[in-house]
């Protein structure tokens, strides 16, 4: 019995010693492989803030990161030589050509270096230029709240700021958006008139803003009210002047489609005139028959919204 207790004691002690050894002895990482993520090999960019990243290795306790200006075989400046436990490291650098490398370090064992190159470009002076805007066009009116704004890439710009103001540029700021991944951005706006613009940026300077005016109008207008000829009026000339009253509208500019027919059914075969009037609310028509005619209006706004038809009025050409 006594011998059994001694044996159990020895086994427990041995297990504890083995576990302690497991903690003391680090894993050999001489043959471990590292995968670098960013910056990409031979990347060239004016961005000075560099995020160095690599794939985490489960056996790694620490990583040795080195960054030099020039090449490791011909170093101009040594910027980074650090041991870290994370698989990322951020550093701001000036323009030039660089190499960076990473290896795993576990006590006395080290993996092979993995090396890449990158270039930080000299930032161009873009203070006298501005981005070329594409869509929406200047003074455009749209009938949806979600609007995609697009512009041409500006040479020398690494990112952009999209700004939207209520009314004029520099007035009430609606949105200020940084765009790092392209030359377009979708925004959601309520009805109203805005000034939007884009500023190009790099690490050294900004461009001038390029701006446009945009109206968002999602509401359909009320139909205009026919005025003359009045209901059942008699016209003593083949030349007839039509007038109407447009509704007060807080959205985009209005225009009217005037339709004149020989019957009040307005079938295609009976229509004698159909025209879109974009200026004043008046229209001159010339007729060739002495008969009764019917007319009505449909109102449109610049954004493309439309009303229903107005009331129908009739008149007779007779003399």
Q: Looking at residue 151, which CATH number applies to its domain? A: 2.60.40.10
pLDDT in tens, 251-297: 888 999 999 999 999 999 999 999 999 989 999 999 999 999 999 99
Return the closest-CA partner of residue 123 out of 198, 206, 181, 183.
Answer: 206
How many domains is the chain partitioned into structurally?
3
Give 6's pLDDT tier (boundaries 50, 70, 90).
low
Q: Is 6 inside a domain boundary?
A: no
In this structure, the answer to whether residues 210 and 237 fall within a common structural domain is: no
Stated pTM of the model: 0.62
pLDDT in tens, 207-228: 999 999 999 999 999 999 999 9
Q: What is the pLDDT of residue 20?
A: 45
Residue 248's contacts (CB-CB under 8 Å, 6 or more residues apart) are none
In this structure, the answer to whether residues 70 and 116 fall within a common structural domain is: yes
Q: Rg of the Cα trace of the chain?
A: 38
Residues 20-41, mean pLDDT to the nearest whole number: 81
In this structure, the answer to whether residues 209 and 275 fall within a common structural domain is: no
Q: Is 7 inside a domain boundary?
A: no
Output the average pLDDT for the chain: 91
Distances (CA, A) of 236 to 165, 239, 284, 287, 318: 55, 9, 15, 11, 5
Please tell me the least confidently modeled range out of 17-21, 288-292, 303-307: 17-21
CA-angle at 195, arms to 190 and 174, nearest 5°: 50
Check pLDDT > 90 for residue 122.
Answer: no
In this structure, the answer to whether residues 111 and 189 fall within a common structural domain is: no
Structural contact between residues 124 and 158, judged by C-beta atoms closer than 8 angstroms: no
In this structure, the answer to whether residues 50 and 113 fall within a common structural domain is: yes
In this structure, the answer to whether residues 177 and 235 fall within a common structural domain is: no
Residue 186's domain spans which residues? 133-216
Q: Is 146 inside a domain boundary?
A: yes
In this structure, the answer to whether residues 242 and 307 fall within a common structural domain is: yes
Check pLDDT > 60 for residue 98.
Answer: yes
């Amino acid at each position: 019995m006594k011998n059994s207790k001694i044996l159990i004691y020895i086994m427990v002690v041995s297990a504890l010693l083995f576990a302690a050894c497991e903690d003391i002895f680090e894993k050999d990482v001489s043959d471990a492989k590292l995968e670098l993520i960013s910056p990409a090999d031979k990347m060239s960019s004016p961005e000075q803030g560099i995020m160095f990243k690599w794939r985490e290795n489960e056996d790694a306790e620490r990583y040795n990161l080195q960054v030099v200006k020039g090449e490791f075989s011909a170093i101009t400046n040594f910027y980074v030589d650090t041991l870290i436990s994370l698989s990322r490291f951020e550093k701001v650098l000036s323009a030039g050509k660089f190499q960076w490398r990473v290896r795993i370090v576990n006590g006395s064992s080290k993996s092979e270096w993995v090396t890449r190159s990158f270039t930080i470009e000299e930032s161009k002076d873009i203070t006298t230029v501005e981005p070329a805007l594409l869509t929406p066009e200047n003074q455009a009116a749209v009938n949806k709240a979600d609007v995609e704004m697009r512009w041409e890439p500006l040479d020398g710009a690494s990112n952009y700021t999209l700004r939207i103001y209520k009314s004029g540029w520099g007035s009430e700021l609606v949105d200020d958006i940084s765009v790092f991944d392209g030359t377009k951005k979708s925004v959601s706006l309520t009805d109203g008139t805005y000034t939007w613009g884009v500023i190009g940026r790099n690490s050294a300077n900004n461009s001038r803003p390029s701006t446009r005016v945009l109206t968002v109008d999602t509401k359909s207008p009320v139909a205009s009210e026919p005025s003359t000829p009045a209901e059942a009026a008699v016209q003593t000339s083949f030349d007839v002047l039509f007038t109407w009253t447009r509704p007060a509208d807080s959205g985009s500019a209005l225009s009217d489609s005037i339709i004149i027919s020989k019957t009040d059914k307005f079938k295609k075969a009976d229509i004698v005139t159909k025209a879109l009037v974009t200026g004043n609310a008046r229209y001159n028509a010339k007729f060739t028959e002495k008969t009764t005619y019917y007319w009505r209006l449909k109102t449109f706004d610049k954004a493309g919204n439309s009303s229903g038809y107005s009331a129908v009025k009739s008149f007779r050409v007779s003399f």
